[in-house]
Chain A
């Protein structure tokens, strides 16, 4: 029966069939189910120990306090209540809260294990296939990319799914015992599935394009996911209606039903009831759980769509850029629309001044945009070989203008495209800050900041492209290392020597990633800002000239290079 079903699945999607055949072996099945049941047993036992215990005979009987008792709280924000006993001498327990806590804790464990372990398994599997060379056979088959990759997503973590499947009875039992409506539990499960699709697709894309990391690839990938999920878990404590909420809606922690009513979030619950709901362009998306769920599902779908655009390109041809230049403009626009939506409703604190309000929002906006552009540089910068081919054989594509090629071309350098993306990102932020009710001088400071941000990102983009073009082994690692040093070294120097923008050596701020923030420093002389801007533009110009020179050289035919070498020889010998 089971074999027949697997066979039918195999006809629909051979990749799932292959993964099931390779993984669903009796030993693996037993281990997976045992881990699931043992983890549930541990969680259940842990929560049993959290219930109030009778004092030992002979012990003094003070009033007993416990989270799950039903009496008065010790103080307002405390999670402990005084415990009462019934007529039989048993404690009266708030079983609803107890079950809710198990449900919430189980949901956290589920989210972490699905996202972190699942991404590890997928990255490890696909990178191994790529390294071994078996992926080429699959690529050559007439199956569509979608079929293969869906097969991977459904099949590779099959043992993890099985472990989760065995935890579902406890998940539903505790949820329903905590009087959480079945619809909400199922809605949350849908959100987790949508989130898994997004993360797993990202993991596949990452493993296709980062083969140069070799064995480190799965560890780095799942490590970053773990860090991100953990950070997002912590963000559930962060104030709403700031750009940070953009990150919050990328994981389903906020969608765990009744999470704020569980004892883990008692303080947060009190705090949140005094705060406005999460808004997006003043739309109250956090007003009800259902609206937040629908918004999150749309958000997951939007980013999954973009990731799949990259997957579709890179699966057949891993040497191509992850997105085309045209797609990058759209993705930047999507990102800005989505991000600024969370910024517009304003900060939830009332005590912030205009400047602080603008500064805090601006800082988050800049940070998230900085991350976007680092990703865009990685996505759009063509590899050395591709750029070489472009420089060498571009002349054969007669009739295509250079500008058009630089804006939309598949193999051309990404600098102009990055500049256009910067324009798309900066324009709405400028408009938003200009239309805010901040003071005039802060608006000017914001515009200058954005100009610095533009130059900085361009500098990083040229530097990356230049380093990717250098003929050295592992040039991607070198490019990454140099870029990291350029970003972090000035920060370390500034922190170690405690240099403020108005102190001597304060100009170093303008050559660090903190340049956009430095302009907010009121004591900074205007001349220093001007000189710093000139300095940045000069470096940018020099790097661009150097890159152009290298591209020209790469574009020369072998004959021309040979003749030039011959001509140079006699003069060298003289």
Chain B
């Protein structure tokens, strides 16, 4: 098994009665990647992540973490040292303070003083909870609890993070803070598998994406590859003049594959089949035609559009 692969599964299957939650999944995630797992509810994302975290026994199949076989028994304590798992319900101990909670997990992962205290301060700063270190956990807000859970997940400096819907239920500011933390962790070299319904977040964070449906991993590719294959180039154009004039010009331009007038505005979204040079030519021809443009910018279809285009119904 290649050491370059942080995660590698072979024929991973989990069956509950007749219902196959995860079906013959061969997942490969390279070290250092941020891998986004998307799919509708019930697609098998949580079950897959639970199996990768050794919290669920596979019906059949094998899991390799950095080339070593992961088993759900006492074996491989060093392998478990490399994993950090954050489930979607992030359970905590309400009877402990923030510091004691992290101190407990640091001890479980055999961190010794003075390294332990140093690491505790480090992660508290990262998740912006330094000023709350002596507060009882039951006094924290949901966002703080979420960040504390993430701090617990990374306290032992794992090289592989498994995050199951870590931003669900968070307000936009808390989500943004969470995104920033993930980016810092990625820069620190961690491999991160993250499942989420918030595709805009994933598009910002991930280097690769896997799509699950009905227990199957139906797509697994780098984000760049996915955009290259499935994303169309779009141009947003606004005019101060009459919209009809702009539309008639667009109709006559051969590389324009289609357009959509954004309702209530003088704005048009154009599906464009050409290169960036062709874009520049289109702009020149519209200006020459005397259309008073006040906006012209190239964009790409986002992850959500690609996902929907593939026939999946993603709840976001």
Q: Taking beta carbons and an 8 Å cutoff, which residues of A are in contact with B?
A: 10-11, 14-15, 17-18, 21-23, 132-134, 136-145, 312, 316-317, 319, 384-385, 388-389, 392-393, 396, 471, 558, 561
Interface string of B98-111 (1 = CB under 8 A from A): 00100111011110
Complex contact A142–B59 (CB within 8 A): no
8 Å CB contact of A18 from B15, B20, B73, B104 = B104
8 Å CB contact of A141 from B55, B80, B91, B96 = B80
Complex contact B18–A385 (CB within 8 A): no
A142-B80, A144-B77 given. 17 additional CB < 8 A pairs? A10-B103, A10-B107, A14-B107, A17-B104, A17-B107, A18-B93, A18-B96, A139-B54, A140-B53, A141-B108, A141-B109, A142-B77, A142-B110, A316-B73, A388-B17, A392-B59, A471-B17
Check: B89 CB closer than 8 A to any chain A CB.
Answer: yes
Interface string of B55-92 (1 = CB under 8 A from A): 10101100000000000111001101101010101011
8 Å CB contact of A140 from B59, B80, B89, B93 = B80
Q: How far is the CA of A389 from the CA of B13 in the complex (A)?
A: 10
Q: How far is the CA of A396 from the CA of B152 in the complex (A)?
A: 39
Rounded to whole Å, the gap between the CB of B168 and the closest CB of chain A is 15
Check: B95 CB closer than 8 A to any chain A CB.
Answer: yes
Name 20 A/B residue pairs within 8 A (Cβ), A-sorted.
A10-B103, A11-B112, A14-B108, A15-B108, A18-B93, A21-B100, A21-B104, A133-B89, A139-B55, A140-B53, A141-B108, A142-B80, A142-B81, A142-B109, A143-B110, A319-B57, A385-B16, A392-B15, A393-B60, A396-B60
Write out the residue numbers on chain A whose beta carbons fall within 8 Å of the beta carbon of B73.
316-317
Q: How far is the CA of A571 from the CA of B72 in the complex (A)?
A: 47
Specify the chain B residue showing the minimal Cβ separation from A21.
B100
Write out the residue numbers on chain A whose beta carbons fall within 8 Å of the beta carbon of B100.
18, 21
Rounded to whole Å, the gap between the CB of A532 and the closest CB of chain B is 38
Write out the residue numbers on chain A whose beta carbons fall within 8 Å of the beta carbon of B108.
14-15, 138, 141-143
Q: How far is the CA of A393 from the CA of B92 in the complex (A)?
A: 37
Residue picked from B91, B95, B104, most chain A C-beta under 10 Å? B104
Q: How far is the CA of A368 from the CA of B228 in the complex (A)?
A: 72
Specify the chain B residue showing the minimal Cβ separation from A315.
B74
8 Å CB contact of A558 from B18, B57, B59, B109 = B18
Write out the residue numbers on chain A whose beta carbons fall within 8 Å of the beta carbon of B103.
10
Q: How far is the CA of A23 from the CA of B74 in the complex (A)?
A: 29
Q: How far is the CA of A98 from the CA of B80 in the complex (A)?
A: 59
Rounded to whole Å, the gap between the CB of B101 and the closest CB of chain A is 9
Rounded to whole Å, the gap between the CB of A423 and the closest CB of chain B is 30
Q: How far is the CA of A40 from the CA of B16 in the complex (A)?
A: 55
Write out the residue numbers on chain A whose beta carbons fall within 8 Å of the beta carbon of B53.
136, 140
Q: Which of B101-148 contact A (CB under 8 A)?
A: 103-105, 107-110, 112
Chain B binding surface, main DSSP class:
loop
User: Nearest 6 A-B pairs (CB), nearest first?
Assistant: A14-B107, A142-B77, A141-B108, A22-B95, A132-B91, A133-B91
Complex contact A140–B83 (CB within 8 A): yes
Complex contact B15–A136 (CB within 8 A): no
Specify the chain B residue showing the minimal Cβ separation from A15.
B108
Complex contact A317–B72 (CB within 8 A): yes
Complex contact A140–B18 (CB within 8 A): no
Complex contact A316–B85 (CB within 8 A): no
Write out the residue numbers on chain B whose beta carbons fall within 8 Å of the beta carbon of A133.
87, 89, 91
Write out the residue numbers on chain B whose beta carbons fall within 8 Å of the beta carbon of A392.
15, 59
Write out the residue numbers on chain B whose beta carbons fall within 8 Å of the beta carbon of A385.
16-17
Write out the residue numbers on chain B whose beta carbons fall within 8 Å of the beta carbon of A142.
77-78, 80-81, 108-110
Known contacts: A14-B108, A316-B74. The answer to whether A393 contacts B93 by CB under 8 A is: no
8 Å CB contact of A136 from B55, B105, B109 = B55
Write out the residue numbers on chain A whose beta carbons fall within 8 Å of the beta carbon of B110.
142-143
Residue picked from A11, A14, A132, A319, most chain B C-beta under 10 Å? A14
Rounded to whole Å, the gap between the CB of B314 and the closest CB of chain A is 26
Write out the residue numbers on chain B whose beta carbons fall within 8 Å of the beta carbon of A558.
18, 20
Write out the residue numbers on chain A whose beta carbons fall within 8 Å of the beta carbon of B83.
140
Known contacts: A18-B104, A142-B110, A144-B74. The answer to whether A389 contacts B59 by CB under 8 A is: yes
Q: How far is the CA of A384 from the CA of B20 in the complex (A)?
A: 15
Rounded to whole Å, the gap between the CB of A200 and the closest CB of chain B is 21
Write out the residue numbers on chain B whose beta carbons fall within 8 Å of the beta carbon of A561.
18
Write out the residue numbers on chain A whose beta carbons fall within 8 Å of the beta carbon of B85.
136-137, 140
Q: How far is the CA of A316 from the CA of B73 in the complex (A)?
A: 6
Specify the chain B residue showing the minimal Cβ separation from A18.
B104
Interface string of B261-273 (1 = CB under 8 A from A): 0000000000000
Complex contact B87–A136 (CB within 8 A): yes
Rounded to whole Å, the gap between the CB of B46 and the closest CB of chain A is 12
Write out the residue numbers on chain A whose beta carbons fall within 8 Å of the beta carbon of B92.
134
Write out the residue numbers on chain A whose beta carbons fall within 8 Å of the beta carbon of B109.
141-142
Write out the residue numbers on chain B whose beta carbons fall within 8 Å of the beta carbon of A144.
74, 77
Known contacts: A22-B93, A132-B91, A393-B59. The answer to whether A137 contacts B152 by CB under 8 A is: yes
Rounded to whole Å, the gap between the CB of B59 and the closest CB of chain A is 5
Rounded to whole Å, the gap between the CB of B75 and the closest CB of chain A is 9
Complex contact A11–B107 (CB within 8 A): yes
Write out the residue numbers on chain A whose beta carbons fall within 8 Å of the beta carbon of B107.
10-11, 14, 17
Complex contact A312–B57 (CB within 8 A): no
Rounded to whole Å, the gap between the CB of A385 and the closest CB of chain B is 7
Q: How far is the CA of A15 from the CA of B73 in the complex (A)?
A: 19
Q: How far is the CA of A132 from the CA of B94 in the complex (A)?
A: 11
Rounded to whole Å, the gap between the CB of A562 and the closest CB of chain B is 11
Rounded to whole Å, the gap between the CB of A564 and the closest CB of chain B is 13
Specify the chain A residue showing the minimal Cβ separation from B16.
A385
Rounded to whole Å, the gap between the CB of B130 and the closest CB of chain A is 20
Q: How far is the CA of A33 from the CA of B92 in the complex (A)?
A: 29
Complex contact A312–B74 (CB within 8 A): yes
Write out the residue numbers on chain A whose beta carbons fall within 8 Å of the beta carbon of B89.
133
Rounded to whole Å, the gap between the CB of B241 and the closest CB of chain A is 61
Rounded to whole Å, the gap between the CB of A139 and the closest CB of chain B is 7
Complex contact B95–A134 (CB within 8 A): no
Known contacts: A140-B54, A140-B80, A393-B60. The answer to whether A316 contacts B15 by CB under 8 A is: no
Write out the residue numbers on chain A whose beta carbons fall within 8 Å of the beta carbon of B59.
389, 392-393
Q: How far is the CA of A132 from the CA of B74 in the complex (A)?
A: 22
Q: How far is the CA of A133 from the CA of B77 in the complex (A)?
A: 20
Q: How far is the CA of A10 from the CA of B96 in the complex (A)?
A: 15
Q: How far is the CA of A384 from the CA of B108 in the complex (A)?
A: 33
Q: How far is the CA of A388 from the CA of B57 in the complex (A)?
A: 13
Rounded to whole Å, the gap between the CB of A249 and the closest CB of chain B is 32
Q: How far is the CA of A161 from the CA of B78 in the complex (A)?
A: 35
Write out the residue numbers on chain B whose beta carbons fall within 8 Å of the beta carbon of A17.
104, 107
Complex contact A140–B74 (CB within 8 A): no
Q: How far is the CA of A471 from the CA of B17 in the complex (A)?
A: 8
Write out the residue numbers on chain B whose beta carbons fall within 8 Å of the beta carbon of A137.
85, 105, 152
Write out the residue numbers on chain B whose beta carbons fall within 8 Å of the beta carbon of A138.
108
Rounded to whole Å, the gap between the CB of A36 and the closest CB of chain B is 22
Write out the residue numbers on chain B whose beta carbons fall within 8 Å of the beta carbon of A139.
54-55
Q: How far is the CA of A22 from the CA of B57 in the complex (A)?
A: 31
Write out the residue numbers on chain A whose beta carbons fall within 8 Å of the beta carbon of B55.
136, 139-140
Rounded to whole Å, the gap between the CB of B64 and the closest CB of chain A is 17
Q: How far is the CA of A132 from the CA of B149 in the complex (A)?
A: 14
Write out the residue numbers on chain B whose beta carbons fall within 8 Å of the beta carbon of A389.
15, 59-60
Q: How far is the CA of A319 from the CA of B20 in the complex (A)?
A: 18
Residue picked from A133, A137, A141, A317, most chain B C-beta under 10 Å? A137
Complex contact B104–A14 (CB within 8 A): yes
Residue picked from B15, B87, B93, B107, most chain A C-beta under 10 Å? B107
Q: How far is the CA of A139 from the CA of B96 in the complex (A)?
A: 19
Complex contact B72–A22 (CB within 8 A): no
Residue picked from A142, A317, A392, most chain B C-beta under 10 Å? A142
